[in-house]
Amino acid sequence: MSDEEIEIIDGDKKIGRATFVKTAVGGFALLWGGMTLYPVYRYLCPNGEEDASSKIASLDIGKVSDFPAGSGKNFKFGSTPALVIHTTQGDFHAFKAVCTHLGCTVQYRKEKNKIWCACHGGAYDPDSGKNVAGPPPKPLMALKVDIVNDRVIISNA
Amino acid sequence: MFIGKREKRKVLYWLERRLHASPLIELALHKRVPVHKHSVWYYFGGISLLFLMVQIVTGILLMVYYVPELASAHASILKINSGVEFGWFIRSLHSWGANLMIAVVFIHFFSAYFMKAYRKPRELTWLTGVVLLVLCLGFGFTGYLLPWDEVSFFATKIGLDISSKVPVIGDIIATMLRGGTSIGQSTLSRFFTIHVSVLPILLMGLLSVHLAIVQAHGMSEPSDFTKQEDEEKKYEPFFPDFFFKDILVWILAGNLLFALTMLAPWGIGPEADPFAPAPIGIKPEWYFLAMFQFLKLVPPMIGPIEGELFGILVMTIFAGILAAVPFWDTGESKLKSDLATALGVITVLFMVIFSVWGAMS
């Protein structure tokens, strides 16, 4: 019998003392470690409560005349950066200004007539938000634009 | 006042009885450095150490005035730069020192790689060195956010978004580091804590191990040196010969740091605005430029996987192969040895070409 690891009594496998102690010590160490580390893990987890002010359904961003045709403007929509574009054809389009590549904030570039991400040179179509050049894998998330009493109202699409 | 020989011996005896340091002194006195045409690379570990000490001292000094709070962080750096006497000097030393340290650590890394200093019995020296290099990049990444300017904000955004692309654990890690879904006060607090306490403890611990193993094995000797006849091998004692040369190199490295600090004091960009678009022409720090340029070139989708993830995967596998080099290039096979060298050359060329390309585009 090597080191009493396994003792065979009446044909039954019995665990030797050394194995028992090793397993018990190991088991308790894991348990104790887990009990200590779990609170630390939870402590470090960000609490999911978002600021009430960051949850919004719609936003009045100003008068139509504040946005000349062929221009774009970045604004804050709740907790996300957003972008509104007044095209030369007179249409309004709004998107969440978060690049679908690595999350940089995009902007409208008039000379290219594209929505542009300065970080890695991604480009989107200003009418549809579709990714047209560079690394972005997906189109921008669209927001809804309504013109009510000459004011530009942005809401979740 | 002069202490007589007898008193000096008494003091040393008193200390020896308490510290038992004589074996260590013995070791130090017998430490010798091989002399050959590649000896110059031995200095780079020491220079890294010098810059590390500069970082510790200037970092502590900066903490006296820096406030890790969203509304005050940028203003406190502005105050250090213009309102505190010699504040610009301390901050520039820290910023330039960080850059020089990363550069020197890279040189140290590649010189060990090309001299094949990672081979048996120095595998653990190599591995601890690799982790130390990663820690240095971690220092760079976390420290970069602290001034809370425009570029640092987007650099952090990109860095965390890249890590969130890693399957399964990526998102958890990014959220834990960010302290939520967007970069804000939680991120700043976390990065500050990591930069000034977590990383320093890890670095000091690991560096002690790294240096202890280096002492245990002595300086690594390149193969053309070990091939020589014993009589032909030249060594110099570490104390005092190499030590004084080391000091000289430290003075030169220190002077380079001072010169850069004086000639080009480190500035600060406009304060970060989380809702403003990324500024045109934004670029990461030079040591992330190659990676940045590479990720810019990867198409959005490669087969079924996102281009970004593919890029990270390729770079991780490549870095993994380099880090594991002591286990596949053991020195027994000429082919594998040449392969290791070729891989190193490719890596250096990639880093240089892509960095220059990234800087120019």
Distance CA A139, CA A143 (A): 12
* CATH code for the domain defined by B30-148+197-271: 1.20.810.10
State the average pLDDT over residues B327-356.
95
pLDDT at site A121? 87
Rounded to a whole number of angstroms, the distance between the first and last alpha carbons of chain B is: 65
pLDDT at site B352? 96
Residue whose pair of structure tokens reads 């048996």 in the numeric block: B120
The CA dihedral of A39, A40, A42, A46, to the nearest 10 degrees, is 150
pLDDT at site A51? 59
Among residues B250, B353, B248, the alpha carbon closest in space to that of B294 is found at B353
pLDDT at site B224? 86
**Smallest Cα distance from B300 to chain A, Å:** 5
Q: Which residue of B has its CA nearest to A120?
A: B296
Q: Which amino acid is at B164?
A: S
State whether A97 and B175 contact (CB < 8 Å): no
What is the 8-class DSSP label of residue A64?
A: G
What is the 8-class DSSP label of residue B109?
A: H
State the average pLDDT over residues B121-131.
97
Contact B132, B207 (CB under 8 A): yes
The mean pLDDT of chain B is 93
Q: What percentage of chain B reaches a pLDDT higher than 70? A: 99
Asked if B175 reaches chain A (Cβ–Cβ under 8 Å), the answer is yes
CA B38 from chain centre, in angstroms, equals 22
Within 13 A of B164's CA, how many CA atoms are on the CB side? 20
**How is B124-181 classified by DSSP, letter by letter?**
HHHHHHHHHHHHHHHHHHHHHHTT-BHHHHHHHHHHHHHHHTSTTTHHHHHHHHHTSS
pLDDT at site A1? 45
Tell which wins on pLDDT, B4 or B48.
B48
Q: Which of A79, A102, A105 sits opposite B277 (nearest CB)?
A: A105
Tokens standing for B54?
Answer: 């500069």
Distance CA B110, CA B352 (A): 13
Q: How confident is the model at residue B2 (pLDDT cuts 50, 70, 90)?
A: low
State whether B308 and A134 contact (CB < 8 Å): no
Distance CA B188, CA B232 (A): 57
| pLDDT of A53 above 70 | no
Q: Which residue of B has its CA nearest to A139?
A: B300
The CA dihedral of A75, A76, A80, A81, to the nearest 10 degrees, is 20
Residue B305's DSSP bridge partners are B302
| pLDDT of A54 above 70 | no
Tokens standing for B19?
Answer: 């510290």
- Per residue in B170-181, pLDDT (tens digit) is 999 999 999 988
* pTM as predicted: 0.90
Among residues A134, A61, A138, the alpha carbon closest in space to that of A94 is found at A61
Q: How confident is the model at residue A4 (pLDDT cuts 50, 70, 90)?
A: low
| pLDDT of B118 above 90 | yes
Tokens standing for B90?
Answer: 């301390």
Asked if B182 reaches chain A (Cβ–Cβ under 8 Å), the answer is yes
Q: Which residues of B52-90 are buried (b: 16+ CB within 10 A; e: fewer)?
A: bebbeebbebbeeebbbebeebbebbeebbeebeebbbb
State whether A119 and B158 contact (CB < 8 Å): yes
State the average pLDDT over residues B207-228.
92
Distance CA A47, CA B277 (A): 27
Q: What percentage of chain A reaches a pLDDT higher than 90? A: 60
Q: Where are the domains of chain A?
A: 5-44, 52-156
Distance CA B74, CA B92 (A): 15
| pLDDT of A74 above 80 | yes
- Per residue in B5-40, pLDDT (tens digit) is 899 999 999 999 999 999 988 988 999 999 999 999
Q: Which residues of A94-104 are buried (b: 16+ CB within 10 A; e: fewer)?
A: bbbbbbbbbbb
Contact B94, B307 (CB under 8 A): no
> Which residues of A fall below an 8 Å CB-CB distance to B?
44-46, 74-76, 79-81, 83, 97, 101-107, 116-121, 131, 134-137
Q: Which residue of B has its CA nearest to A97?
A: B277
Contact B33, B219 (CB under 8 A): yes
Among residues B149, B153, B180, B152, the alpha carbon closest in space to that of B164 is found at B180
pLDDT at site B166? 85
State whether A121 and B300 contact (CB < 8 Å): no
The mean pLDDT of chain A is 87
State whether A135 and B275 contact (CB < 8 Å): no
CA B238 from chain centre, in angstroms, equals 25
Distance CA A61, CA A54 (A): 15
What is the 8-class DSSP label of residue A51?
A: P
- Per residue in A113-122, pLDDT (tens digit) is 999 999 888 9
Q: Which residues contact B264 (CB under 8 A, 6 or more apart)?
A: B92, B96
Domain A52-156 - what CATH class? mainly beta
Q: Which residue of A has its CA nearest to B304?
A: A137
The CA dihedral of B255, B259, B260, B264, to the nearest 10 degrees, is 160
Phi/psi of residue A132, nearest 5 degrees: -115, -20
Domain with CATH 1.20.810.10 in chain B: 30-148+197-271
3-class DSSP state of A77: strand
Distance CA B346, CA B76 (A): 43
Tokens standing for A33?
Answer: 């470690």
Quote the ipTM score: 0.80
